[in-house]
Amino acid sequence: MKQRIILILIIISTLLLCSCQSKQKPVNLNYEIDMKIKELLDQMTLEEKAGQMTQVTIDALTIGKNPKESDEPPMLDTNILKIAFERYHIGSVLNTANNRARERKEWNRLIGEIQEFAIQNSRLRIPVLYGLDMIHGASYVAGATLFPQQIGMAATWNPVLIERAGEITAYESRAVGCPWTFSPVLDLGIDPRWPRHWETFGEDPLLVSEMGKALIQGLQGRDNLLSDKNRIAVCLKHYLGYSQPVSGKDRTPALIPMNVLREYHLPAFKKAIETGAMSVMVNSGEINGMPVHASRFLLNDLLKGELGFSGLVVSDWGDIEYLQTRHKIAANQKEAVRIAVNAGIDMSMVPYNFDFAGYVVELVNEGAILMSRIDDAVSRILKVKFLLGLFETPMTFQEDYPEFASENFAADARRTALESITLLKNQGNILPLPKDAKILISGPAANNMRPLLGGWSYSWQGNLVNEFTKAYSTIYESLKDLSDNPERITLFEGVNYEDTEDFRAENVMDLKQFSVKARQADYIILCLGENTYTEFQGNDTNLELSANQQDLVKAASATGKPVILVLVQGRPRLINNIEPFTKTIVNAYLPGNYGGEALARILYGDANPSGKLPYTYPRFAYSLEPYYHKHTEDQTITEAPVESGFLPQYPFGFGLSYSNFEYSGLALDKTDYKSGENLKVSVQIQNKSGKAGMEVVQVFISDSIASNTPPVKRLRAFSKVMLQSGETQTLKFEIPVTDLAFVNHNNETLLEKGYFRLMVNKLSLSFIVNEDKIITVK
């Protein structure tokens, strides 16, 4: 209470200061903010400006053995705070102490004390911008409502659910005083080797764009009124091309032609900026030999210039320092700062020291960085702070958020988990299972919450999940809860994960004992996949499931009992060798705290699966192409084995249902089009089964001939619909003809006349575009 009273007094004095600074009455919000920024900049010293551009982790501000480690419970070090805010005028703080989730009360204390000290010791009373990786909910807050990871969100193909997830995340983030999240990830999930594949919305630019837009609308509000105490600012990650490194390993070099960057990687960022995103985080790697943190073209010319981005650009963790230590393009740290700031970085996520601020001051005084570049960077930072209302309300408190972790919020998370789960195989209609069935459930994810959540859950690597999830049900516990005869559900893991940060570490139990128990069951459910990881700690050398888990599948199959494979995984692990041993395969992705419940409901038939793959599920390690590959990759070479062509385990957009849907009546309003027109598409879909279900209607278009080799097809529209038994609906889509343009080798967005093919399910139609048009010239 004392802390809150002090902050209220600080707010009043800050408002009086802002009032005194105002010379004229603003005519709108943007004008008002621009005037405030200008007035503030005019009063700021170079040192104060450099401080605003500096971001440090909270561990660097606490009492502890070193800047990377805090004592428990974490307490702020007054002496360090004086250095940070009185000498260096630090503008932003991030992260959680000791890399672990905190209770709301503790977050209120820590962030509140930082804001209080920063404002009281700032000559101009500038608040701190505090940021956290609230990735799939307020994931660093104990007790928060956590959703499926982004790859699971994408598998719902339901933007309405994703917008709601954003609203809840923003509400629960504000409850702890955090107004800024480093989310969403808008990288394409184009390479399953990449260890952050599960953090994406999948491989398709349209799906990523629409899901990203929905999440942003939830987090920031459709009107982008960020000062609303129920909203937070987003930070788009990781601009640009981060997800397609040559090696598949995190933070390693990418070789991506500029026209490919523009056509495939850029659209989601463009859409997000149009939606109102006000901060962007930069790719930690390099593209075509240039670290993105050093690329003036990508950061200044393309992002801030061509896309008109007016928000702040923040580095990723330590990435300016890495220009010297990893990328080797700077001789020392000072030179690294010069390169990055001149390229367009506005804020440095340092994160363990204050050296960046000192280097900025020196470089400006030496003429190596222009003051105009500093003013531009600081203006962008202040703009976000003003938009968030931090000058008026620097802190929000938990008692003003009574719906935190409410049952209503939990219901939304449950529904999202349900709609994400994807049925890939159901031979003989094994599913749904009878509720009195005798079941053996096995595998490392059977009775373990950790693999259900993934990384960025209560800690960076997700290794603390089980400590924070005792109130939630595992898959095994959920099956027992729903069974008519819980005693007939037997758990014998066979293989389990070690509870360490090494996601590969496993223990093998007695498989002979497993086989004995398996023969006594009616069905065997194997919950396999991966333990938690993220970033470079998830780099791997093999895409297959572990040998231990494959042996478990073979042992189960040898009993002759039906094997139901449940995949709990971040990236699609290869299952080609074990798929024949299974009757049913369910892909659960990383479904969150309610994933166990959702899986049990689907396995028993209380819910009808409606998830669809947001990526191409590969069959072979040497064939990892996305669905929009080229025709030469789609054809087998004469006399070559069939594996030389495109032969995924399951195609992009695939997913089965307990219902049976029939498509008919695909139609276009006409057969030839010009560039300014829209394709008006209609198609009928009927539920031919006796069970209500949801279906995702996907519209693909193929360009028959183009001056650049065209992809086999591209997703151009989609919609998820609910159909009752026997119900028929007519769906209508409008697709701008300009969406059919491609980016050529001159980086022109070009629409070419010719024949195109429209495809919905197994139906198709041809149409003509009858004019050439250059839409943009770069």
Give CA angle at 295 (289, 299), nearest 5°. Answer: 140
Catalytic residue flag (residue 250): no
d(CA 496, CA 476): 14
Give CA angle at 324 (319, 329), nearest 5°. Answer: 105
What tokens does 501 get? Answer: 């940060």
552 Cβ partners below 8 Å, 6+ apart?
442, 443, 494, 495, 511, 514, 526, 528
Alpha-helical segments (H) within 276-332: 296, 319-325
Phi then psi for residue 642, to 5 deg, are: -60, -30
Number of alpha carbons in the 13 Å side-chain half-sphere of residue 308 = 7
Helix and strand totals (H; E) in the chain = 23, 29
CA distances from 1 to 7, 8, 308, 394, 543 (A): 10, 11, 43, 16, 53
Residue where the block lists tokens 């009032």: 19
Q: Is the dihedral of CA 400, 456, 102, 421 positive or negative?
A: positive
CA distances from 305 to 546, 595, 600 (A): 47, 43, 50
d(CA 708, CA 719): 30
Helix or strand (DSSP H, E) at 759 = strand 754-760
Residue where the block lists tokens 């027109």: 677
d(CA 99, CA 134): 13
Counted residue by residue, the chain has a size of: 778
d(CA 608, CA 594): 16
Q: Specify which residues 69 forms β-bridges with.
A: 66
Quote the DSSP letter at residue 97: G
d(CA 635, CA 625): 13
Alpha-helical segments (H) within 469-621: 475-482, 511-519, 547-558, 595-604
Which residue, 51, 23, 47, 50, is CA-closest to 36? 23
What tokens does 728 get? Answer: 């028929």
Other C-beta atoms closer than 10 Å to the C-beta of 745 total 10
d(CA 292, CA 298): 7
Q: Is the dihedral of CA 384, 389, 394, 395 positive or negative?
A: negative
Other C-beta atoms closer than 10 Å to the C-beta of 9 total 12
Quote the DSSP letter at residue 414: H
What tokens does 36 get? Answer: 């405030």
Q: For the packed helices 2-21 and 104-120, what is the interaxial angle rounded to 10 degrees? A: 40
Residue where the block lists tokens 């007695």: 510
Catalytic residue among 133, 316, 319, 346: 316
Give CA angle at 523 (519, 528), nearest 5°. Answer: 100
CA distances from 617 to 209, 717, 718 (A): 21, 21, 20
The answer to whether 98 and 467 have CB atoms below 8 angstroms apart is no
Which residue, 144, 153, 276, 283, is CA-closest to 216? 276
The answer to whether 80 and 121 have CB atoms below 8 angstroms apart is no
d(CA 269, CA 49): 28
What tokens does 357 get? Answer: 């601020």
d(CA 697, CA 303): 33
Residue where the block lists tokens 């805090």: 70
| Residues annotated as catalytic (active site), given as ranges | 316
